[in-house]
Structure 1
Amino acid sequence: MKMALVLIVAMALLVGGCQKQEDRAAQKKIDLIYVEWSSEVASTNVVKAVLQEKLGYEVQLTPVSAAAMWQGIASGDADAMVAAWLPTTHGHYLERLSGQLEDLGPNLDGTRIGLVVPAYVDINSITEIKQHAERFDGRIIGIDPGAGIMSKTEEAMEVYGLDNLRLMEGSGATMTATLADAINRDQWMVVTGWTPHWKFAQWDLKYLEDPQNVYGGAEQIHTIVRQGLEEDMPEVYRFLDNFSWTTDDLQQVMVWNREDGATPYASAKRWIEENPAKVEAWLR
């Protein structure tokens, strides 16, 4: 009896989820989900701008943690994301949920994650952090706890024996604010870092070498969609499948987003207006 009730509830949730997806498709509504990293804010708003300005869809953006982002696609509560860092940063999410969503492949090549310091910091490898823990104030400044780079940093701290430092949780904004304050004071600071990010244009920074390869090599950002999107919204699926750009493209939008009075959507609209050939290629 109990098992039958569980099956009934599961079927009801599945049917309800499918109905919501059909309703969104009929009303030309799209739900995009993302993590609030500066790169993902930029890319997700560009996708929103194309969907709204070129294809006439109404787009809802939902910022969440990395874990919730992946689960939102797997459950069908959201339609797509363009913020999956693979194979290292979000690899454990893809491994766990691979049968419940669809990976459309990379939309950007040449990304990287690791530990980052100002260029004036006189070390070059993660292996050297431990002996200079006091100069780093016993801290590694991180971001939101659900981010893949945080779990990788926890692993790095174990591998490199950094038991005399603490990994500080926060957000991308607090991480860059703390970094800015340290640089203004010419102090040592180590932060979780990733490329592309506007901070590399703002300051002279460097990645610390990772001889144990905890953080992996070059990564890609992938587009992930819910199952059934191709059948429900074929033109949306085609655009998302075609969507790809360069780190220069992405960093341009991120720089605009930091201008006084800028909004992510206005910057995204500006970018698609100035790059009509690329947008046209995505919509073929």
Structure 2
Amino acid sequence: MKKKWGLALSAVIIAAGLAGCTNAGDNKAIKLAYVAWDSEIASTNVVKYVLESKLDYEVELLQVDAGPMWAGIADGSADAMVAAWLPSTHASYLEKYGADMEDLGENLSGTKVGLVVPSYMELSSIEDLKTAGSDVAHKIIGIEPGAGIMMSTDQALKDYGLDSDWKLVESSSAAMATELQKAYEAKEPIIVTGWTPHWMFAKMDLKYLEDPKGVYGGDEQIHTMARKDLQSDMPDAYKLLDQFTWTPDDMAEVMVAIQEGKSPEEAAKAWVDSHEDQVKAWLAGIE
């Protein structure tokens, strides 16, 4: 009798284990990597909300620097990103990791990167920095080390013959924007590494310094990148990511809402809830 009860109990445990495995399989989880740029905080949180609210995914956000973001998609430790700035800003990462992931194409076009100053400054070109700079202590306020725009700025300082006098200050995207806003409100001179879309262009009158040598490249696009096999592993999430596309104005709505005090989650939800037709297009063909 004891043996029969033991066999019965074993059967129950095995069945429970199999049920647990089945439930684990049904628990859809996806990891999205992103860099802490205001633009990528906006886009990644919008995609996160749609995955969670429309497709019942559990989404884990991985905030990392640009290099680890690309490496994570390449080695499969992250599933996707909507934050690849191409063809110039992330060119070195594309060359290193691109063969180990899938490019789903652009999700936003018309971006730009470069050196940015308040419009009240008389500077108009990077060339002007050769005879200016004392009023800003020959410093350019940058963002996170390793970011594509930081590497481009290092190159710009060399190509324009400024590397002996000028210093690129490492900080963060948020710290750069804070420093810019403080200087702008005080009408003080400042030079920062900047990009569009970004909420700071909606809040301040800014301009790019002309780049006659083309170090920063021209207009860029933001691409969606996915790990290999994502399509077979998570076909519905893959299709959403493949069909996700929006405009700089769309992104700016979310960025400004965050800058004005909403959490990224609140801003993303508000945008998605007020753009039903656009979101339906992202979900087209998903059963």
Equivalences for residues 101-250 of structure 1 within 5 A:
101-162=101-162, 163-250=164-251
Aligned to 2:100: 100
- 1:79 partnered with 2:79: yes
What's the offset of the Cα at 1:26?
Answer: 4.7
The alignment covers a number of residue pairs equal to 261
Residues in 1 aligned to 2:24 and 2:244: alpha-carbon distance in whole angstroms: 21
Amino acid of the structure 2 residue aligned with 1:69: M
User: Is the 8 Å Cα contact of residues 88 and 215 (structure 1) preserved in structure 2?
Assistant: yes
User: Is the 8 Å Cα contact of residues 101 and 224 (structure 1) preserved in structure 2?
Assistant: yes
What's the offset of the Cα at 1:27?
Answer: 2.3
Aligned to 2:60: 60
Q: Which runs of 5+ in 1 are unaligned?
A: 1-22
User: Is the 8 Å Cα contact of residues 25 and 232 (structure 1) preserved in structure 2?
Assistant: no
Which secondary structure state, in structure 1, belongs to the residue aligned with residue 202 of structure 2? helix
What's the offset of the Cα at 1:102?
Answer: 0.5
Which secondary structure state, in structure 2, belongs to the residue aligned with residue 211 of structure 1? coil
Q: TM-score, normalised by structure 2?
A: 0.89
1:143-163: CA deviation from partner (whole Å, max 9, x where unpaired)? 000100000000000001112
What's the offset of the Cα at 1:25?
Answer: 6.5
Amino acid of the structure 2 residue aligned with 1:120: Y
Residues in 1 aligned to 2:128 and 2:199: alpha-carbon distance in whole angstroms: 26
What's the C-alpha RMSD, in Å, of the aligned pairs? 1.2
Amino acid of the structure 2 residue aligned with 1:27: N
Q: TM-score, normalised by structure 1?
A: 0.90
Residues in 1 aligned to 2:89 and 2:139: alpha-carbon distance in whole angstroms: 21
1:197-224: CA deviation from partner (whole Å, max 9, x where unpaired)? 0000111000000000000000000000
- 1:259 partnered with 2:260: yes
Structure with max Cα Rg = 2
Compared with structure 1, are the counterparts of its residues 115 and 158 closer, same or farther at alpha carbon in structure 2 (3 Å cutoff)? same
Which secondary structure state, in structure 1, belongs to the residue aligned with residue 181 of structure 2? helix
Compared with structure 1, are the counterparts of its residues 24 and 129 closer, same or farther at alpha carbon in structure 2 (3 Å cutoff)? farther
What's the offset of the Cα at 1:24?
Answer: 8.2
Percent identity over the alignment is 52
Residues in 2 aligned to 1:210 and 1:239: alpha-carbon distance in whole angstroms: 37
Residues in 2 aligned to 1:185 and 1:259: alpha-carbon distance in whole angstroms: 20
What's the offset of the Cα at 1:185?
Answer: 2.3
